[in-house]
Amino acid sequence: MTAVPPLYLIADRQACAGRPLLDVVRAATAAGVRWVQYREKALTRRARYDEALRLRALTREAGAALIINDELDLAAAVEADGLHLGQEDLPLPVARRWLGAGRVIGVSTHTIDEARRAIDEGADYIAVGPIFATTTKAVRPPIGCDAIRRVLALTGVPLVAIGGITPGNVGEVIRAGAAGAAVISALCGAADVSAAVAAFHRSIAQARATVDERA
Amino acid sequence: MTAVPPLYLIADRQACAGRPLLDVVRAATAAGVRWVQYREKALTRRARYDEALRLRALTREAGAALIINDELDLAAAVEADGLHLGQEDLPLPVARRWLGAGRVIGVSTHTIDEARRAIDEGADYIAVGPIFATTTKAVRPPIGCDAIRRVLALTGVPLVAIGGITPGNVGEVIRAGAAGAAVISALCGAADVSAAVAAFHRSIAQARATVDERA
């Protein structure tokens, strides 16, 4: 699998401010985003398949990885680079049996126990959040950067922070030890997607520099 | 694949009048139903997986086939005998590539063109309906038994009639040439599931006898 990059775009049509999802993904990958997750819950399976095929071609062309949210069969059908599972999706071992070791499988976790189980089951990365307040999923309260440190105490599995992450606060999650940040609103909803990607990368580079100084 | 049986139970929790789905399926298979389709659209993927695993054990024990509705990955994950696809699900060729020739793939069709495409793509059976007025899916008007004759003119692929079929009218679809009838309400909602299965089998046997006489 490709290593978890510092910036992970979660492409959600409903967060794209009415712009075509593919335009947002094209702009983000052209600006250097290396992982794109396709998250679509409203369309029919056939429409998701058709759109995922277009994203597969676009990401391959851009040299970016495509991760499919929730749906094992869709991930395999479009030859995605990986699958992201929620706590209410098919079990990770079932997905691993189908996708093999060569493809990325990540898992959303919201508690230490969920993180431990995902790690025990062989997740390639775990998503931890919501770190900050978010407009995308208002179902859970923010857990803050201390949650990143607590989960990192468990494991060497790359941790992806998610939830309300912006160029202004991404440094905090990187300094807390996250391998990367998964971002929906601050990229999909950005007036200038390329500029937003550049702002994230600047903040991430600055945070990493301070981490290196401490090391 | 096993041949299409004359009576095909579509097990839908919401049609079971509050009874556990597994109890309905257990009674139906004990009474001689040989194909059971698991159709569940409300639960989470994980809950569908857990329930499908229980149905897999139950149907295997009863010597019945288990067909999963819509979800290719779920069908494979629980080692179902087949998959039933709607017009808005993954394409049949994608499902065939994953499931192979040994497992049943059926397709819901509502027009001659949909039936022709499903046949061209290698469907093992096609479902045609709604034949009669139905309470389960009130989205389309009944197309009647003439639709069965029109589709049969296309093909040798087994045709399963669906939609408002009862012990009282199942004879009409069998005499029209259907290989079998897919039934939700008249079985899942029956006060006595075993008695309903027996009533269907009597009507089917009578209809087949008259067809044989004509032949």
Report the residue from A77, A88, A90 with minimal CB separation from B90. Answer: A77
pLDDT tens digits along B159-199: 999 999 999 999 999 999 999 999 999 999 999 999 999 99
Task: Report yes or no: A200 and A167 within 8 Å, Cβ to Cβ.
Answer: yes
pLDDT tens digits along B13-52: 999 999 999 999 999 999 999 999 999 999 999 999 999 9
d(CA A82, CA A103): 5
Tokens of A3: 């290593």
Q: Which residues of B touch A76 (CB under 8 A)?
A: 73, 98
Which chain A residue lies closest to B50 (C-alpha atoms)?
A: A90
Q: What is A7-214's CATH superfamily?
A: Aldolase class I (3.20.20.70)
Helix (H, G, I), strand (E, B) or coil at A129: coil
Specify the pLDDT at position B136. Answer: 67
| Active-site hit among A39, A56, A96, A103 | A39
| Residue B79: band (very low, low, confident or very high) from pLDDT cuts 50, 70, 90 | very high
> Phi first, then psi: what are they for B40, rounded to 5°?
-140, 120
What pTM, to 2 d.p., does this model score?
0.93
Q: Which residues of B touch A71 (CB under 8 A)?
A: 73
Specify the pLDDT at position B137. Answer: 62
The verdict on whether A45 is a catalytic residue reads: no
pLDDT tens digits along A86-117: 999 999 999 999 999 999 999 999 989 999 99
Tokens of B1: 């694949």
**Within 10 A of B120 (CB to CB), how many other CB atoms are there?**
11
Task: Report yes or no: B186 and B166 within 8 Å, Cβ to Cβ.
Answer: yes
Task: Determine, for residues B87 and A47 on separate chains, whether the beta-carbon distance falls below 8 Å.
Answer: no
pLDDT tens digits along B118-141: 999 999 999 999 999 887 666 788
CA-based nearest residue to A94, from A78, A70, A113, A65: A70
Specify the pLDDT at position B165. Answer: 97
Task: Determine, for residues B94 and A47 on separate chains, whether the beta-carbon distance falls below 8 Å.
Answer: no
Spell out, as residue ranges, where chain A has pLDDT lower than 50: none
d(CA B142, CA A74): 33
Asked whether the predicted pLDDT for residue B211 surpasses 80, the reply is: no
Count chain A–chain B contacts defined by CB atoms under 8 A: 55
CA distance B44 to chain A (A): 6
Asked whether the predicted pLDDT for residue B56 surpasses 90, the reply is: yes
